[in-house]
Structure 1
Amino acid sequence: MHDTIKYETIKHDIVKIERIETQAIIGAYEFEWEAPQPLILDLELATNFNKAFASDALDDALNYDAITQTVRAFCEQSRYELLEALAGGLIRRVMDDYPVDKMAVKIRKPEALKHALATIWCERSREQMDKLTLVEKRMTKE
């Protein structure tokens, strides 16, 4: 016999958007600011599906395409030295624009290392992000 799911223990439903291809001018070295570099991102977005269960309407769910376009535009318009700072700015932007309670992002920078793949992963809740002060995205190298 299967155990009954205790709905009060389920805290989040998860949407995953994987392999978002974009580019950004990003890096700690001067030569990295000469041209945009490719990035590949994976997102995990914690939200609540209850309204979508009842309505079957896109307005009651996360719009994957809109989120993907937001992420791509944010990366393409940003100027950070660190992937970590980009991740923080990106999480803040997605949480500002969409009903996401918790978010994880994995960012890969395929051309950063000659014989390896540079990757970062971070996860933050809305509550954690509300307590952080982030560096503002920079439009030019100082």
Structure 2
Amino acid sequence: MNSELAVIRIKNLRLRTYIGINDDEIANRQDVIINVKIQYPAEKATVSDNMDDALNYRTITKKIIALVENNQFGLLEKMTSDVLAIASEHPWVCTASVEIDKPHALRFADSVSLELTYQEN
């Protein structure tokens, strides 16, 4: 039997959170844009058509929203790492990557982003 890898993409999840180390960043919420990519073996779900055999992207997204909106982060690295931990926590996940954009963080740039990747050993 061939192994089919599913790819879940959560695209452009727009949230507001406290991110940064400057006084105005600590005092005011800022926009962030989150992109998540998760790969897992999907052959069981493709045959059964049963939600219990698939990763639930709604559950994953709700956890990410709660994390980001209810916390304060000094560094983009920390927030990205914490979101990646949620994206990769299910034992079926083979690889996951998270990219978080912080729009208008630099003058003359649309955004600054950071990407981290998890790969099972």
Normalised TM-score (structure 2): 0.85
Instruction: Supply the distance in 2 between the matched residues of 1:91 and 1:72 (Cα, whole angstroms).
Output: 13
Question: Does 1:7 pair with 2:2?
Answer: yes
* Number of aligned positions between the proteins: 120
Q: Return the structure number with greater strand share.
A: 2
- Identity over aligned pairs, percent: 26
Instruction: Supply the distance in 1 between the matched residues of 2:92 and 2:64 (Cα, whole angstroms).
Output: 15
Decide which of 59, 66, 71 is 2:64's aligned counterpart: 71
Partner of 2:22: 29
Question: Does 1:52 pair with 2:45?
Answer: yes
| Root-mean-square deviation over aligned CA pairs | 2.1
Which ranges in structure 1 are unaligned for 5 or more consecutive residues? 1-5, 128-142
Instruction: Supply the distance in 1 between the matched residues of 2:61 and 2:73 (Cα, whole angstroms).
Output: 20
CA gap of 1:65–1:30, structure 2 versus 1, over 3 A, is same
Question: Does 1:42 pair with 2:32?
Answer: no
Is the contact between residue 9 and residue 38 of structure 2 (CA under 8 Å) also seen in structure 1? Answer: yes
CA gap of 1:97–1:24, structure 2 versus 1, over 3 A, is farther
Which ranges in structure 2 are unaligned for 5 or more consecutive residues? none
Aligned-partner SS, 2:89: helix
- Name the amino acid aligned to 2:113: T
Is the contact between residue 36 and residue 87 of structure 2 (CA under 8 Å) also seen in structure 1? Answer: no
Aligned-partner SS, 1:25: strand
Partner of 1:104: 97
Q: What is the deviation of 1:113?
A: 2.0
Is the contact between residue 60 and residue 86 of structure 2 (CA under 8 Å) also seen in structure 1? Answer: no
